[in-house]
Amino acid sequence: MKRLIVISATLLFASAAVAQTCPKVVYSTPTATMKSLVAAVNCLAAGTGEAPKTVQAKSAQSNGGMQVDSFAIVGPQHSRPYGSVVLAVLSVPTGGVTKTAVVTPDTHEATVTAEAGGSCTVKINPDKTVDSKCYIAGGTVYVVYR
């Protein structure tokens, strides 16, 4: 019994030591939000658990890293095809808070409800494009791709 407790405690401390401390995404201006999203995704992809010292949102990267496109949703939107969509983040301001939904190629689609009965939807299509649509509300989609 004592041995089981020691092993459990060791595993708990080891898992806590390995946990990543990547930065959280902060929603503010579109440019700042995109930089924050790129920093968080690159940190998680690198697996280092440490945020990079400098963050630059580049339109093309030579190291095969991830890139981010963003566009405002006003009615139905259909994106261009991407090489490989990693995820799409739907951000909808509702009063004093921002509601978000994350869609991956495995989950395909998500909906966020907004004020006054409005809603926004984002969907990753099999042809590597992203569809989004807002009813009454408006939002922003961030597409993370390689």
The pLDDT tens digits for 90-107 are: 999 888 888 889 999 999
Name the residue with higher pLDDT: 33 or 130. 130
Nearest to 66 by CA among 90, 98, 95, 34: 34
What φ, ψ does residue 17 adopt, rounded to 5°?
A: -70, -30
pTM given for the model = 0.63
Q: What percent of the chain has pLDDT over 90?
A: 34
Average pLDDT over residues 108-126: 92
Distance in angstroms (rounded) separating the CA atoms of residues 103 and 89: 6
At 53 the three-state DSSP class reads coil
pLDDT tens per residue, range 3-62: 434 344 444 444 444 455 777 776 666 667 777 777 777 776 666 544 444 444 444 444
Task: Answer yes or no: are the C-beta atoms of 131 and 125 closer than 8 Å.
Answer: yes
Q: 16: which 2 tokens? A: 């806590």
- Look up residue 32 and give its DSSP letter: H
Q: What is the pLDDT of residue 132?
A: 95
Q: What is the mean pLDDT of the chain?
A: 75
